Amino acid sequence: MEVLSIRNFSKSYGKAEKAVENLSLTVESGDIFGFIGHNGAGKSTTIRSVVGVQEFEEGEILIDGHSVKSEPLACKNVCAYIPDNPDLYEHLTGIQYLNFVSDVFRISAKDREERIRRYGEEFEITGALGDLISSYSHGMKQKVAVIGALIHDPKLMVMDEPFVGLDPKAALTLKNLMHDACARGGAVFFSTHVLDVAEKLCNKIAIIKAGKIVASGTMEALIGDKSLEDVFMEVAENGR
């Protein structure tokens, strides 16, 4: 079942060259889909359009069968987004922020309490949830952002460089949670520069270069007996 479908998506800023051109890909239920490319290749532009933060003119993006353009709320209801540098409300406490997100998604008091407790313990941040976010380290903010994303049990998690700033244990926890989400029928679409992580974690991958997909498919089919790093360097540098 298709959870995310991007069809012929293009995005340009003004009259300048297209930031992304004619991009198509599909993320299905159970997929952990890695989106890799150089800085400025068009990863964030694509991700920001998927989650409805950014306007786009050409193409169509569907989340769980709903159009991002014409049914943005239906899409956002089943999607969670974690930006590369989450700017959380500094003057809220961690728990106030999580309650805010829970209220937005109308999570019952019982369910939110159970989920905050579970994720808080898994990320070892429960003790700090009463403190203002302004006092958190980057990693702690990232953990709160991840919990906020998981709290409504989304069908699609879209993440931009989610492992940046996380300590090794938190990174492992996040990987496990991504697997859990997929096992429950959800899907994960994320960008990363850490190719080792992508190789071990993802079942599908797409490599973007100068706004165009230059390689995509299942991990096995794409890399064969090489490493993802070799394939990436080959494709990204030489354009295969």
The residue ranges that bind other proteins (CB under 8 A) are 13-14, 16, 48, 51-55, 72-73, 76-77, 79-81, 83, 86-93, 96, 100-101, 103-105, 130-132, 134-135
- The residue (of 128 and 228) whose beta carbon lies closer to other proteins is 128
Per-residue 3-state assignment (H helix, E strand, C coil) for the chain: CEEEEEEEEEEECCCCCEEEEEEEEEEECCCEEEEEECCCCCHHHHHHHHCCCCCCCEEEEEECCEECCCCHHHHHHCEEEECCCCCCCCCCEHHHHHHHHHHHCCCCHHHHHHHHHHHHHHCCCHHHCCCEHHHCCHHHHHHHHHHHHHCCCCCEEEEECCCCCCCHHHHHHHHHHHHHHHHCCCEEEEECCCHHHHHHHCCEEEEEECCEEEEEEEHHHHHCCCCHHHHHHHHHHHCC
**Residue closer to other proteins, measured from CB, 14 or 168:** 14
Q: How far is the CB of 53 from other proteins (least distance, A)?
A: 4
Q: Please, what is the minimum distance in Å from the beta carbon of residue 172 to other proteins?
A: 25
The nearer residue to other proteins, 12 or 29, going by C-beta atoms, is: 12
Closer residue to other proteins in complex, CB, 120/222: 120
Q: Please state the closest distance from residue 231 (CB atom) to other proteins, in A.
A: 28
CB of 146 to other proteins, least distance (A): 13
